[in-house]
Amino acid sequence: MMSNPPRNQRSAMDSSSNFSVSGNHNERNFDIVKDSMGLAISLNKTESLDVVLDDFSEGYFSLSYENRKKLLLVLAKEYDLNRIQVRELLKQYLGFELRSGEVFVGCITAAMLVLRLNNHTGGLKFLSDLRADILSFLKYRSLCIEVASNTVVRVLQLLPLDAFMLEENIASLRALDSCLKEQLSTWLSPVALELHQITWDDSASLLEKIVTYEAVHPISNLLDLKRRLGVGRRCFGYLHPAIPGEPLIFIEVALLKNVAQTIQEVLWDDPPIPETEAACALFYSISSTQPGLAGINLGKFLIKRVITLVKRDMPRVSTFGTLSPIPGYMQWLLSKLASQSVIAKADNMEQPTGGSGSTFQENLLEPDEEGMLMNSAPETYAGKNGMEVMLNLLTSTDYEWISSAELLSALKPPLMRLCARYLLQEKKRGKALDSVANFHLQNGAMVERLNWMADRSEKGLRQSGGIMVNYVYRVEHIEEYAQSYFSNGHIHASSDIRRHIKPQKEHEATTA
């Protein structure tokens, strides 16, 4: 349910990468912008500072993709603390070797520029965009390394592994990113944010941003937007005084009698009920609008504020839940199916006359599920076993299987069971592997129910086989659930979703 801005939204990296293709006729000289940055850090004359900061920010955005990288490296390395000197002084201090009266004066740091920009008009947005660039560069570098590791020598010869890719440079950029993230988290505390209910009467520019940034369930037209802001619906956003007219994050809410099981109930099929009959506030979309604020959990505070506001204005509403996508499920499942296919082929080559097989072999299907898939699959999707059949069906680009009652019946049991396993048992560093699950669980929700064929859109089928999940926020347990998940990764789940898990594995999910 939580999502980054859509692909068609111009991110900092998208706009900068255009320079490398077509060139920017208004690009300033790199050295001039570099000198401007240095002046913005070192200048002591307050009356001239605003002019210098304006000049630097304009110059930065005029630079090409490559020159932005170079400038950020200068900022991250040349204006960083002298870490060797700091370590030596710490050693002296711990060894009681610090000479009396000795004072360490570090070099001017990038933190000075960050602080000055935050106090400058438009500076907070600039810092967010600056961090978006850093994250994009780091992501590009990680992608290059991932591709290179998969295709070894040939790709290594093709990739532009310039000085930017050196580990020492990446470490400096990560340190700069950490500094920016820490400062942005402080400046964007709930106290500094304004909760605003977005309505049809808001400015056209604000409404346009809602349409642009909505990435979970795209808004198709003005009629669709008007309905999402009308009777039985709510939209709330966090605004900051330094970025007027632009929500940093917004949440869409449907007022319903019960927790919805399909997205059609929320967006298309049913007219809204009278608000006086609503007993459930369903959060069906949360969208972040600033790539540079990634990792700063504004959604946690937004959900809690919205729950408090709805409870105050609508006492009848007692249930707060979500209808959420499961964006990583298909990727995880297809990877498991493909790897098992590879392992099976390798074992057959090594043990042509049979044998115990590899210790890595795992049949993801129950015997009855295997039989149903083998018997119901058309010849075009045939395979040596049920997992191969399942892989062939789920990787078909035409999604023919959703039009066949027999195939839907054969796929439903394994897809629902494995989805429950994915949400409750598959972990990364002790936390839920799925990003949306991790978001809601760390905010104090519990996993309530899986919904079969809840989203038949191409995106829904590609991400999760059409399955969606309800998370529920039980107001009296939010802090308790958030703390137990944070402390030891306990996932609170209803008996409805636990029934999909094998009994011997139930202990891995904590019941509510």
The set of catalytic residues is 324, 440
Query: What does residue 179 show for φ and ψ, rounded to 5 degrees?
Result: -60, -45
Phi, psi of 89 (to 5 degrees): -70, -35
How distant, in Å, are the alpha carbons of 165, 217, 263, 322, 401 from that of 224?
45, 11, 14, 20, 29
CA neighbor of 135 nearest in space, from 198, 52, 228, 72: 72
Q: Is the dihedral of CA 379, 331, 417, 461 positive or negative?
A: negative
Are the C-beta atoms of residues 381 and 392 closer than 8 Å to each other?
Answer: yes
Burial degree of 474 (CB within 10 A; 0-12, 13-18, 19+): middle
Contact of 328 with 44, CB cutoff 8 Å: no
Contact 79, 41 (CB under 8 A): yes
* Burial (0-12, 13-18, 19+ Cβ within 10 Å), 210: buried
Provide the 10 A C-beta neighbour count for residue 483: 12
Q: Is 215 helix (H, G, I), strand (E, B) or coil?
A: coil
Instruction: Judge whether 325 and 463 are in contact, CB under 8 Å.
Output: yes
User: Taking the alpha carbons of 46, 48, 53, 56 in that order, is the dihedral positive or negative?
Assistant: negative
251 within 8 A of 310, measured Cβ to Cβ: no
Q: Strands 468-473 and 446-451: what pairing? A: antiparallel
